[in-house]
Amino acid sequence: MPKHNKAFKNMRHLKFLIFNYVKVTGSYRHLSKELRLLCWHGFPLEVIPEDFDLRNLVYIDLSYSKLVRVWEDSDRLPEKLKVLTLDHSCNLSQLPDFSKLPNLEELNLKGCKGVSGGYHSLAQLKMLDYLDLSDCNITDDAILENLGSILSSLRSLILDGNGFNRLPILSGLSQLELLSLNHCTNLQAIPNLPTSLITLEANYCTALETMTDFSEMFNMKELQLKDCLKLKDIPILDKSLYNMHTIHMEGCTSLTDTFKENLLVKRNVNEFGGIFLSGNDIPYWLAYAVSEDETVKFEVPETVKYEPPPSIEFIILRFAESFFTSSSSIDYIGIGGLAVCIVYSSDHSNCTGSLCIVVVNRTQRTHFCIWRTDATVIASHEDYLWLGSLSNRKLNLKGGDKVCVRAEFYGTEEDHQIKVKKTGVDFIEWERDLPSGMEDVDYERVPYESDDDTDEEDYQTMP
């Protein structure tokens, strides 16, 4: 509905202006010169008028606008601007002169397919922290070849849905923490990533074949590579998991058996969110396993035999033990937690559900619902596997306890339900320091209800 600008004549101290698909008639000189925030979705003009005083704005959101270029060159440009959002401004063909925006920290150009170039001007943005260029029709010809050397302050880079076959050089982005490449279906390789990276998302990159060596990716917490159909392995990943929280590789059907076996060994189960793969086999080392609709039942042994991981921590511990005591080895140790693995599937594709692990301790009369993470089914009737762990700092399992464990999915529609097909459980004999965030998992305590129908002989014990 059209509005006349004279309505703003008496609003001289207006600081926040939010419009959605509104057309304003008349001169823009009546708008407050003290505006700090302008959110005008569907901005109807091809350019911001020259008489619109932008000098004090720090936040501009003109998503879904009809802009062809952003503004005329004038002495009223927003030099204080920190956030500029022009998402889905499909007619935009010319980027602004970024030298006039020295304080810009966040730039959102998602879906601006008409911008054919001018990305070199991003070099002027010395303070830029977040850059979203997803669905901008970027190809190899227009790729930002020098991106790694001109945006040294960048922490988040979103390049989803673009058509390039190769990445620009990114190793110089020494502050980069998030790189998103989802649905870049022509991308064939991801090399030379900055070692500062915490999260890498490259889901549905169906041409991806080659990944960088992970031997120096010590800060990586989350790796998402769903449905990368041609990917066979990731160099050194299985030996670089100490700080990793979550790995999503569902639908990566070309992964070698050796790579998957190395990823699912016992020493890798301390991950926060767990490891997701395509597959239907519970790893052999999980002592207690059941099929669909069954609960894992076991009795906690008094002591658990210790099989040390090949780590420097163990070598130091073993040396100290032999030096200060007469014992030459450590044979038994308390329980650090539970390793849990499930196989799941659905009759429908594109399902997402929240995974809940239920742990009932009949001996201590405790009942926990542990909300782990969200799981995704990409293709119907395909089997997927999750392997993760539960900390005994919360469960407090002790020798002789009779315990029940089952996995369930919530949040899926009734006709799109994710079903658990297999469950496997075993003990983590030695718990390392928990990765950052592990204690944030929701161990919801539920009132205990007696399980009188369970016979004593149903509980397995470790041989």
**Given the structure tokens 């509104």, which residue do they identify?**
22
pLDDT tens digits for the chain (463 residues)? 445 556 666 667 788 989 888 888 777 887 888 899 999 999 999 999 888 889 999 999 999 999 999 988 777 789 999 999 999 999 999 888 888 899 999 999 999 998 876 777 888 888 999 999 999 988 886 566 666 667 889 999 999 999 999 887 788 889 999 999 999 999 999 988 999 999 999 999 999 999 988 888 889 999 999 999 999 999 888 877 777 889 999 999 999 999 999 889 877 776 567 899 999 999 999 999 998 778 999 999 876 554 544 444 444 544 554 444 444 343 445 688 899 999 999 988 888 888 999 999 999 999 999 887 888 888 888 999 999 988 888 899 999 999 999 999 987 666 568 999 999 999 887 555 554 444 557 788 888 876 545 555 677 765 5
| Local structure of residue 167 (DSSP, 8 states) | P
pLDDT of residue 8: 66
Cβ 297 vs Cβ 454: under 8 Å: yes
Q: What is the residue type of 291?
A: S
Domains in the chain, start-ordered, CATH in brackets? 1-137 (3.80.10.10), 150-263 (3.80.10.10), 288-304+335-461 (2.60.120)
Q: From CA 205, how far away is CA 180, in angstroms rounded? A: 11
pTM of the model: 0.86
pLDDT for position 14: 87
Instruction: Give the C-alpha separation, 347 to 221, whole Å.
Output: 31
CB atoms within 10 A of CB 74: 15
User: 3-state DSSP call for residue 30?
Assistant: helix
* CB half-sphere exposure, 421, CA atoms < 13 A: 16
CA distances from 220 to 33, 189, 211, 373 (A): 45, 18, 14, 18
The dihedral sign for the CA sequence 90, 95, 96, 101: positive
Q: Is 58 exposed, middle or buried (0-12, 13-18, 19+ CB in 10 A)?
A: middle
Q: For residue 303, what pLDDT is reported?
A: 65
Q: Which two tokens stand for residue 44?
A: 């109807």
- Supply the pLDDT for residue 454: 54
Tokens of 236: 């050194």
Q: What is the pLDDT of residue 1?
A: 42
CA dist 188 to 169, 191, 211, Å?
A: 15, 10, 9
- Give the model's pLDDT for residue 145: 65
